[in-house]
Structure 1
Amino acid sequence: MILHEYLQYDTLRFIWWALIGVLLIGFAVMDGFDLGTGMLLPFAGRTDKERRVIINSIGPVWEGNQVWLILGGGAVFAAWPPLYAVSFSGFYLAMFAILAALILRPVGFKFRSKRDSAAWRRGWDAALFIGGFVPALIFGVAIGNVLQGVPFRLSDELRITYEGTFFGLLNPFALLCGGVSVAMLVMHGAAWLQLKTSGPVADRARRYGGIAAVATLVLFALGGLWLAQGVAGYRITSEVDTLGPSNPLRKVAVAAAGAWFDNYRAHPALWAAPALGLVGAAMAFIGLRARREIFALLSSALGVTGIILSVGVSMFPFLLPSSADPRASLTVWDSSSSHLTLFIMLVVTAVFIPLIVAYTSWVYHVLWGKVDEASLDDPHTHAY
């Protein structure tokens, strides 16, 4: 109880904003190379055995990696109910497309080798590619739309009205953000394949990964310039009550050119986030070209982390700005669950996150080593 009283409401809100960021980064880094590997499957693997090598490089770990996505969705639901409600209402079809694509992945893994038919296996290879490409693209497109503001309103009773359309989400800036997401996860997947495979598969992964790293650098820089020059950000113009009740309509917010760079101007140290994204991608390119396996994977993970951090720190304290009514925008200070709920969740998180990290680390330690064609016929070693 003493700790509960010590952690003020605004402190808990900030902690949970940071924790959501950690979970998103965890998903992008851990499951990101799974998605990237799926996108590289038709290109890095030319024969059936080569593609089996690629699939078996992620087969034992992909399910565990998806825990970060489940944790992130559950945390948003419990810590930021209005954010969950608005995003799932506005992005319903997009979320459905992501889930449908993610469902293809386990089905593809299990069914691909059930029939000795080249056409059958090519079909499931295409499904695995879709299972990587579609989520990567749509996640990026969603971030692009969040940065531009989502067209929703809140009534005085806080009822949500979403005024957008699915195809309205596919605007040029959002598609550019989708391109950043696809490129950085292909880069990350290539770094993983370089670490886990050898021979022609690793060589092709290095080649495509190098291209993806350059594309990540260019598209991320272009997105930053576009954000500075052509996309209106949002800022709060009224007094901010960080300890107040969760009611977004108690503030005044406006859209303004360059507002997403307010935090960078106020705190220059935050430029470390986009710098990390650029430097990480550049280092991943070097690591891929130099065949430095662990260096390349860690560098690509740093690049992914920096890119996601750049979005989070630029938007703070906004979680989901409204382009239809900026006053209704959801922020860290007015869209959370109760003080007690956030505290109980924090205690639970403090117990289970270390367990998840410890178990995941142990699994990767046990499964350390490369996958090669010679080991594919051993059913005790590789299942796919």
Structure 2
Amino acid sequence: MAFFDIETLRVIWWVLLGVLLIAFAVTDGYDLGVNTLLPFVARSDVERRMVINTVGPNWEGHQVWFILGGGAIFAAWPFVYAVSFSGFYIAMFLVLSALILRPVGFKYRGKKTDLAWRARWDWALFIGGFVPALVFGVALGNVLSGVPFRFDSDLRVFYLGSLLGLFSPFALLSGLLSVAMLVLHGSNWIALKVEPGPVHERARAYGFIAGALTLVLFVLGGLWVAQGGLGFRLAAAADHFGPSNPLRSAAVAAPGAWLDNYRAAPATVLAPVIGLLGALLAVIGNRARREWLAFAGSALACAGIVATVGVSMFPFILPSSVDARSSLTVWNASSTGHTLGIMLFCTVVFLPLILLYTGWALRVMRGRVTTREVGLNPDFY
């Protein structure tokens, strides 16, 4: 793509990575939230089938955002991919194992009419929703805190952490925020998609609690960042056009530095404001029985909270807590301009197609799921 220089391409791909993560949180996020709520909002087999079929037609299509996000990191930010997918290997394996339970649970649950058999698969679906939601949040908490890795002079990466080390107090707070946010989103989807009745009311009740927790945990996380001394800062002006080499730019740990961008560019405060207002709108919509308003609010909360992490950290993508000089930024960790340009061309062509397909599928599958349909439709789970 000769239209853009390397600096612009790097920023474009930083934005696109954020867009992919937000799209994953907004679409597959409510799938994870629904799975997490399944054993609690539905108490009979018919009720649980009704809840499962609120996401049954579309959950597989939403996986595309997860795949695109991983592919974008691999191709656009190879150093980030190398560090995160090796350092977080066990955590990634845990997430993938939990995600594998989801298709297996959907397909095998209805193979037998035995209620004990189905109950076991319902808890498998719960694990497939709760564990990824928690681990994704814990991962973002670790990214904000800094990850224990370093590069040697030959650019070999050494990860110095452990699995238990990932679950620091701040990381656990981030994980709980992620769970609350996605449960809020999932509860609003259930309330939007099921017929009025006991499941609808239980979903609203859990949604109100999750919305309140999302607001409280997001504020606590912001106060922790402001008062707890989290942050990194470039030690000198970065060369935006230089080659991708993590060791060519110096960075230092700087308590409170994650607030720098809000001071330098006040417009960036829109990200956390959208996160807070979205969660508040979801709670208001919940209380007012405006399901679409509540769902729109939780979608905005997901977008704003994820965007807050990216905006706070720019230009850092993956800071190092043991050797700040090894930290990965937008300016020192990307692929070549040629690679970024080719990928951008492919994205411009295919991303609109994905959006059109997703919108078409949601439109075709619109409407509420009822107990009558569950009993009569042979294509339902």
For residues 117 and 213 of structure 2, the distance between their equivalents in structure 1, rounded to whole angstroms, comes to 33
8 Å CA contact 1:183–1:213 kept in 2: the answer is: yes
Structure-2 residue corresponding to 1:60: 57
Query: Which residue is equivalent to 2:84?
Result: 87
The answer to whether the 8 Å contact 1:148/1:231 transfers is no
Distance (Å, rounded) in 2 between the aligned partners of 1:183 and 1:96 = 23
2:345 alignment counterpart: 347
Query: In structure 1, what is the equivalent of residue 35 of structure 2?
Result: 38
Match of 2:364 in 1: 366
Q: So what's the TM-score if we normalise by structure 2?
A: 0.99
- Contact preservation (8 Å) 2:2, 2:341: no
Moved over 3 A (4+): none
Shifted more, 286-295 versus 46-55: the winner is 286-295
Q: Which residue of 1 aligns with 2:186?
A: 189
Contact 2:47–2:199 (CA under 8 A) maintained in structure 1: yes
Q: 1:292-331, aligned counterparts within 5 Å?
A: 292-331=290-329
1:206-245 deviation digits (Å, cap 9, x = unpaired): 0000100000000000000001111420000112100000
2:252 — aligned with what?
Answer: 254
Measured against aligned partners, the alpha-carbon deviations of 1:54-109 in whole angstroms (never above 9, x if no partner) come to: 00110000000111000110111000000001001110000000000000000000
Q: Map 1:267-278 onto structure 2 (within 5 A).
A: 267-278=265-276
Question: How far, CA to CA, are the matches of 2:31 and 2:127 in structure 1?
Answer: 12
Q: Are the equivalent residues in 2 in contact too, given 1:112–1:124 (CA < 8 A)?
A: yes
- Tell me the distance in 2 between the aligned counterparts of 1:91 and 1:252: 24
Q: Offset at 1:289?
A: 1.4
Correspondence for 1:135: 132
One-letter code aligned to 2:50: V
Aligned to 2:215: 217
Match of 1:122 in 2: 119
Give the aligned CA root-mean-square deviation in angstroms: 0.8
What CA distance in whole angstroms lies between the structure 1 residues aligned with 2:200 and 2:95? 28
Give the AA of the match of 1:66: Q
Equivalent residue for 1:285, pick from 266, 283, 286: 283
Matched letter for residue 207 of structure 1:
A
Alignment of 1:86-165 (within 5 A): 86-165=83-162
- Once the two structures are superposed, residues 289-326 of structure 1 have per-residue CA deviations (whole angstroms, 9 ceiling, x without a partner) of 11111111111100111101110000000000001100
Count of paired positions: 380
CA shift for structure 1 position 179? 0.5
- Separation in structure 1 between the aligned mates of residue 141 and residue 320 of structure 2, nearest angstrom: 13
User: Aligned partner of 2:252: which letter?
Assistant: V
Q: Separation in 2 of the partners of 1:301 and 1:333?
A: 31
Q: CA deviation at 1:256?
A: 1.1
**Partner letter of residue 287 of structure 1?**
G
Separation in structure 2 between the aligned mates of residue 352 and residue 374 of structure 1, nearest angstrom:
39
Residue 379 of structure 1 deviates from its aligned partner by 3.4
1:378 to 2:376 alignment: yes
Structure-1 residue corresponding to 2:48: 51
For 2:230 and 2:132, how far apart are their aligned partners in 1?
26
Gaps of 5+ in 2: none
CA distance in 2 between counterparts of 1:6 and 1:295 reads 40
Amino acid at match of 1:220: F
Question: Could you tell me how far 1:116 is from its partner in structure 2?
Answer: 1.4
Tell me the residue number matched to 1:244: 242
Give, in whole Å, the separation in 2 of the partners of 1:148 and 1:364: 37
Q: Secondary structure at the match of 1:322?
A: coil
Q: What are the Cα deviations for residues 174-211 of structure 1, in whole angstroms up to 9, with x where unaligned? A: 00000000000000001100110021111100000010
Q: Deviations over 1:240-285 (max 9, x none)?
A: 1000000010111100110000001111111111011111001001
Q: Which amino acid aligns with 1:79?
A: A
Letter in 1 for 2:338: L
Alpha-carbon distance in 2 for matches of 1:232, 1:361? 39
**Cα separation, 1, equivalents of 2:153 and 2:342:** 30
Tell me, what secondary structure is at the counterpart of 1:66?
Answer: helix
For 1:109 and 1:39, the matched residues in 2 are separated by: 14
Take 1:360 and 1:253, find their aligned partners in 2: how far apart are those partners? Answer: 41
Tell me the alpha carbon deviations over residues 110-150 of structure 1, each in whole angstroms, 9 at most, x when there is no partner.
11111111111110000000000000000000000110100
* 1:10-30 alpha-carbon deviations (Å, 9 max, x no partner): 000000000000000000000
Matched residue SS, 2:320: coil
Q: Could you tell me the TM-score, scaled by structure 1's length?
A: 0.98
What amino acid is aligned across from residue 179 of structure 1 in structure 2?
L
